[in-house]
Amino acid sequence: MAENILKWIALGDIHQSLSFVSIIPEIKKADGVIITGDITNHSPQGAVEKVWGVIHDQNPNILAQIGNMDRANVTDFLKSKEANLHLETRELAKGIKIMGVGYSIPTPFGTPSEVSDEQLGQWLEETYAKIGDYDQLILAVHDSPYNTKLDVISNGQHVGSRSVRNFIEKVQPDIVVSGHIHESSGEDIIGKSRIFNPGMASGGGYVLITLQDGKLEAALKGN
């Protein structure tokens, strides 16, 4: 993978709907695919395997993590494929690292993989401690940061994670890709960090991350 042409497609909130594969043809051309969570809806038998198979047929280089609508078997499956990103870090190119934290803070719906905001913050710190030296950092989180354009529900309330926001303010990753709040696809800025929520994959939204001349860039596409 040449550093000056690195291209990744980042998306999430698949919820077992595979229509996005046909409306995001760039998946085939990318160096890899980053999935921020909610691969399934409560992880019925065979669901994660089916989604994986369809994406893998288009692009075999996948990094993915559990969302609040997934169960623990999703992480187990991703680990078996050496593709798990939750609580993990990877080097995408020299000096370019990515870290991931899935799950979400509690919702009114009692979904399978929810944790306290404090736990989410602890996971972020613990995962960051693993990362070592880097020049530029991508953060993949399932829950969107609080009080941004990315965490507003239909009644206007901000429902994102304060811990995710605090972590971004402290660490200032270059690019943040989140999800979870379907109705708040868009982009925003926290300090020097550019943050994105591409919305549900079935809507065709994704973030194109590129490395050109040693500099990470990102753009919201398909929305």
Instruction: Please write the tens of the pLDDT for every residue from 5-25.
Output: 799 999 999 999 999 999 998
Instruction: Please write the tens of the pLDDT for every residue from 131-183.
Output: 999 999 999 999 999 999 999 999 999 999 999 999 999 999 999 999 999 99
Quick one: pLDDT at residue 5? 75
The H-or-E segment that residue 163 falls in is helix 162-171
- The end-to-end CA distance of the chain, in Å, is 28
Least confident segment among 3-17, 24-38, 61-75: 3-17
What are the Cα distances from residue 202, in Å, to 51, 60, 89? 13, 20, 27
The angle formed by the CA atoms of residues 192, 150 and 109, to the nearest 5 degrees, is 140
Chain-centroid distance of CA 37 in Å reads 6
pTM summary value: 0.96
CATH number of the domain that residue 168 is part of: 3.60.21.10
Number of domains the chain contains: 1
Mean pLDDT value across residues 51-76 = 98
Would the pLDDT of 208 be above 70?
Answer: yes
Angstrom distance (rounded) from CA 202 to CA 6: 25
Packing angle of the helix pair 117-129, 162-171 (nearest 10 deg): 30
Domain that holds residue 132: 3-221
Would the pLDDT of 4 be above 90?
Answer: no
What are the Cα distances from residue 204, in Å, to 2, 26, 27, 54, 192? 27, 11, 11, 16, 27
Instruction: Please write the tens of the pLDDT for every residue from 78-129.
Output: 999 999 999 999 999 999 999 999 999 999 999 999 999 999 999 999 999 9
CA atoms within 13 A on the CB side of 77: 21
Q: What is the DSSP string of 125-150?
A: HHHHHT--S-SEEEEEESSPBSSSTT
Amino acid of residue 83? A
Collect all residues with Cβ–Cβ distance below 8 Å to 125 and sequence separation of at least 6.
167
Would the pLDDT of 2 be above 70?
Answer: no
Mean pLDDT value across residues 63-70 = 99
Query: Do 13 and 37 meet the contact criterion of CB atoms below 8 Å apart?
Result: yes
